[in-house]
Amino acid sequence: MKKNKWLVLILLSVSVMSVSAKEYGLHFDDMGNIIKPDQEYFARGLDDEKDGFRDSALKNFKKSAEYGNHLAVSLIGLYNMQDKNYVEALAWYKIVDTKKLDNGVMIEDIIANLETILQPNEIKKAEERKSELLETYGSFVTMAKRESWKKNLQFTGTHIKGYIPPFLQIQLNSGQVVTGSNLKKQIDDFIFNYEFNVPNGEVTLDEIEVIETEE
């Protein structure tokens, strides 16, 4: 007798304000908060998705994920689900820290469904692929990536890259002034107390389709 198993697919629903395209570096919003590189790449990915440039969106989500953005990681898993590349999707979903996502329970359910659908050898391949992904997207590697970003910054008054002079003051067009001590705190928080969020919009994952498979 054939048994039916169910696999839930999800749809990316995006609402996002436009974000100017720029190479990542040191940029601020009007309130003097740094625009973190993972946020910038994530926002570019959302814009690309909205405009129908799926391949470019995927590249930007991967760049965002390199800094530790777990929401970007989950969207890469989603793209693989949409492409029916379930082994790759499982590997990506398994490196997501679901406790840090509002839709973490949904992702855990997807992982459980995938492990029900896939054959043992496919699950093994997903685990092997997960190990490969952690070499680029694991917590220690992504922290090193954030620290590397800081070390590439250079400020007037010093030739030492990554060094933030205490006398530094940055005047923004909005009138806000960012001091050296404030900037150092923001960047240190980005490196060592990293939290991600959705810049200028929101992302929701909604159930849209149920696929029935047979064995």
Our count of domains for the chain comes to 1
Q: Is residue 201 a contact partner of residue 46, using CB atoms and an 8 Å limit?
A: yes
What pLDDT, on the 0 to 100 scale, is given for residue 195?
83
Contacts of 123 (CB under 8 A, 6+ apart): 90, 115
Give me the residues paired with residue 127 across strands: none
Residue 17 lies in a domain: no
Q: Which pair of tokens denotes residue 154?
A: 């250079």
Residue that has been written with the tokens 């990542």 in this structure: 24
Residue 143 lies in a domain: yes
Residue 25 lies in a domain: no
Question: What single letter denotes the amino acid at residue 192?
Answer: F
Domain span at 83: 4-11+33-214
How do the pLDDT tens digits run along the chain, 215 residues long? 444 444 444 444 333 333 334 458 899 999 999 999 999 999 999 999 999 999 999 999 999 999 999 999 999 999 999 999 999 999 999 999 999 888 899 999 999 999 999 999 999 999 999 999 999 999 999 999 999 999 999 887 778 888 998 888 999 999 999 999 999 999 999 999 998 765 544 444 443 233 334 44
Residue 81 lies in a domain: yes
d(CA 98, CA 104): 4
d(CA 205, CA 133): 23
Q: Look at residue 212 and give its three-state secondary structure.
A: strand
Residue 22 lies in a domain: no
Question: What single letter denotes the amino acid at residue 108?
Answer: E
Residue 20 lies in a domain: no
Residue 202 lies in a domain: yes
What pLDDT, on the 0 to 100 scale, is given for residue 198?
55
Nearest in space to 8 (alpha carbons), one of 102, 78, 75, 98: 78
What pLDDT, on the 0 to 100 scale, is given for residue 115?
96
Residue 60 lies in a domain: yes
pTM for this one?
A: 0.82
Q: Look at residue 2 and give its three-state secondary structure.
A: coil
What pLDDT, on the 0 to 100 scale, is given for residue 161?
86
What pLDDT, on the 0 to 100 scale, is given for residue 211?
35
